[in-house]
Amino acid sequence: MQDRIALVTGAGSPDGIGFATAQALAAAGARVAITSTTKRIEDRLRELGGEAGRHIALVADLTDEKAVGKLLAAVNAQLGKIDILVNNAGMIQTGKRERARLFHEIPTEEWLRTLDINLNTCFLVSRGVVPQMLRRKYGRIVNIASVTGPLVTNPRSAGYSTAKAAMTGLTRALAIEVAERNVTVNAVLPGWIQTGSSSKAEIIAGQHTPAKRPGSPEEVAAAAAFLASAAASYITGQTLVVDGGNAIQEYKGPPGKGRLG
């Protein structure tokens, strides 16, 4: 990835998947633009290191079409045309919590906001980047979705599940349109990953996967970095699950009890 230009969205958290992915890409030689909704992204830029001007950090609300346009123009002007896009923005915005509700209790405004944050951010940024990738006949788009929605789900997560399932559909739809121009589009589906926003219940859930532990942001980042590399040139329209085998286990009760077979 030496001197490839990469944009990673949703990289504001110091212990999140977005920033871990930015670090992995930078370590592989890419010049990285990171973005978040708050000025905390400037702290991540300092932590990313490198000589002055090699990487940049930009604040942007990716649910705003005009803000996305300004973001992409800034990346192009300061680093160059984008070779790698990692759509990680979603789930929650830094510093904000989303309320979990039963499906029939979700207000329309909240439903649309959930889709905005988790799906439309991916749509707006990808739509802005794809034309330059097609012109240059090179591109890697990696969408950070989730196992929640495409494979499994939880009560009170209808909006998030819907958005992430749609994200994998978007991945396949776009992949088939751009494949002949050497542009690949893939999705990474994390399971129980331990980040700074993980609840106690989420950590416990990770401990009950076949791997007996939650995953780390760095493990998800490694999968994303591979799909963003030249080595993954013949992989497109695919989903890569990073969940410690949780989605494949049929029995998920207490260990040693009620097992079949």
Round to whole Å and give the CA distance between 172 and 134. Answer: 17
Cβ(161)–Cβ(148) below 8 Å: yes
Q: In one letter, which amino acid is 105?
A: E
**Phi-psi map region of 3: left, alpha, beta (phi>0 left; psi -120 to 50 alpha):** left
- Whole-number Å distance between alpha carbons of 150 and 187: 11
Is residue 84 within 8 A of residue 7, CB to CB? The reply is yes
The answer to whether 138 is a known catalytic residue is no
Residue 113, number of CB atoms within 10 A of its CB: 15
Instruction: Give the DSSP H or E segment for 150.
Output: none
Does residue 58 sit in helix, strand or coil? Answer: strand
Rounded to 5 degrees, what angle do the CA atoms 41, 42, 43 make?
Answer: 90
Please state, in angstroms and rounded to a whole number, the distance separating the CA atoms of residues 244 and 207.
10
Catalytic residue among 138, 160, 234, 251: 160
Task: For residues 242 and 188, give the distance between their C-alpha atoms in angstroms, rounded to a whole number.
Answer: 7
How far is 38 from 239, CA to CA, in rounded Å?
A: 30
DSSP 85: E
Catalytic residues: 160
